[in-house]
Amino acid sequence: MYLPSCFAEKNLNGVSGFIKLQVADGRQWPVRCLYRGGRAKLSQGWFEFTLENNLGEGDVCVFELLRTRDVVLQVTLFRLTEEVGLLEAPPMQQPSPNVSHSKLLNPHLQHRVSTTKMVRN
């Protein structure tokens, strides 16, 4: 899966190797990230992440850069509900002390956040 180029250029430039994806309860998955030509592709480990988090078509992932040295991306998952076609966030079991909803609204942090919608190829 490719991350949006504007997010990749600012946050993942030069990354080639494994990074970590982290969900709200603190669980992490190693995922191979390859940055090339202004694009970042998540490959090895991404499929396992989608399976273990029950991601499906229409679900949205919001990526936030938590750490730059050993790259960790916080992933907030929004699920498409069939009844009304709305996106709902799953209940947070253990909120991360480093992430808050206000970060998404803070203009100084917008460069650290990216969203991606799941689609079938």
Whole-angstrom distance, CA of residue 81 vs CA of residue 15: 35
Q: Which helix (H) or strand (E) holds 115?
A: strand 113-117
The CATH classification of domain 2-117, taken from the options 3.30.930.10, 2.40.330.10, 3.40.50.300, 1.10.1040.10: 2.40.330.10
Q: Where are the domains of the chain?
A: 2-117
> Each residue of 71-80: pLDDT tens digit?
999 999 998 7
> Each residue of 68-112: pLDDT tens digit?
888 999 999 998 776 555 555 555 444 443 333 323 333 444 445
